[in-house]
C-alpha cells in the first residue's frame, strides 16, 4: 500500500513509519522539519511543509491508499490560530479532491468517547473549565475543531483515542472499545508500538470506519 503519514517524527509517528516500511508499504511523510526523522529507507519519501500548506498536503496525499495521522496539540500556551485544526481540514480537503477515502487519526484523550453518563459529565465539565483558562484554551478549542472536522467528513475515518501511551515494549495485544460502548473493557495505558501497529492494521480494514475507538493494552 501507499501510505501518507502526518506526524511521522513524533513518538508514535516514528513507530508508524518504521512498521509500515517493515511491512513492505511505501510511505510519504510530510514534516515541518524533515531533519527530525532520522529513518532512511528506499520506500520512504519525506517532504517539507506545514499542515496548513494546501499544495504540500495535496502533493503528500495524492495517490495514497490511506492516510494516517498521529498528532497532538500543545497543552499549555498553544497558538491561537489553531494550526492543527486548520491542517486537519486541509488533509480532509486533499483526500476528497484526490479520492482518498481511508483516514486513521490518533489525537489523544480529549476527543472523548463516553464511558458512562457520570464520567462523561465530569470529563465534559473538566474540559469546559480548561477552555476558560488562558493557558489551555487553545488546546481545548483545537481539540473541539479537530473532532468536528473529522466527524463531519464523508471519508472513511477512524479516530483512535488513547489516554496514556508509553514507550515501553508492548504485549502485542490491543483491547478495543467502540463509541457505542461495545467491545473490551479498556484501561489507560498502551505501548506506542502497539498503538502504531493497531493504526497500521486499520489502513485496509473498514470494520471501524466512521467510528471512534478507545484502545489500550
Strands 2-6 and 66-70, how do they pair?
A: parallel
Q: What ranges do the domains of the chain cover?
A: 2-216
pLDDT digits (tens, 9 = 90+) for 27-54: 999 998 988 888 899 999 999 999 989 9
Residue 80: what pLDDT? 53
Domain 2-216 is in which class?
Answer: alpha beta
Confidence of residue 161 (pLDDT cuts 50, 70, 90): confident
pLDDT digits (tens, 9 = 90+) for 68-95: 999 876 554 444 545 687 899 999 999 9
How far from each other are the two terminal CA atoms of the chain, in whole angstroms?
A: 27
Q: Considering the entire predicted model, what is its pTM?
A: 0.85
Cα separation, 1 vs 166, whole angstroms: 28
Residue 76: what pLDDT? 40
The answer, yes or no, to whether residue 118 has pLDDT greater than 60, is no
Cα separation, 33 vs 188, whole angstroms: 31
Amino acid at each position: 500500500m501507499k501510505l501518507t503519514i502526518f506526524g511521522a517524527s513524533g513518538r508514535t509517528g516514528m513507530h508508524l513509519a518504521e512498521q509500515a516500511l517493515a511491512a513492505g508499504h511505501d510511505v510519504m511523510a510530510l514534516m515541518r522539519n524533515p531533519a527530525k526523522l532520522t529513518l532512511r529507507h528506499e520506500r520512504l519519501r519525506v517532504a517539507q511543509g506545514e499542515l496548513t500548506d494546501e499544495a504540500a498536503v495535496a502533493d503528500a496525499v495524492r495517490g495514497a491508499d490511506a492516510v494516517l495521522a498521529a498528532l497532538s496539540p500543545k497543552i499549555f500556551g498553544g497558538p491561537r490560530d489553531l494550526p492543527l485544526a486548520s491542517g486537519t481540514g486541509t488533509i480532509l480537503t486533499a483526500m476528497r479532491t484526490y479520492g482518498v477515502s481511508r483516514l486513521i487519526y490518533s489525537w489523544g484523550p480529549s476527543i472523548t468517547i463516553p464511558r458512562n453518563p457520570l464520567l462523561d459529565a465530569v470529563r465534559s465539565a473538566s474540559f469546559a473549565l480548561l477552555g476558560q483558562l488562558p493557558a489551555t484554551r487553545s488546546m481545548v478549542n483545537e481539540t473541539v475543531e479537530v473532532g468536528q472536522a473529522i466527524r463531519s467528513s464523508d471519508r472513511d475515518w477512524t479516530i483512535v483515542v488513547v489516554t496514556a501511551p508509553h514507550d515501553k515494549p508492548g504485549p502485542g495485544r490491543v483491547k478495543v472499545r467502540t463509541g457505542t460502548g461495545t467491545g473490551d473493557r479498556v484501561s489507560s495505558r498502551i505501548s506506542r508500538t502497539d498503538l502504531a501497529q493497531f493504526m497500521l492494521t486499520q489502513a485496509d480494514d473498514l470494520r471501524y470506519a466512521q467510528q471512534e475507538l478507545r484502545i489500550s493494552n
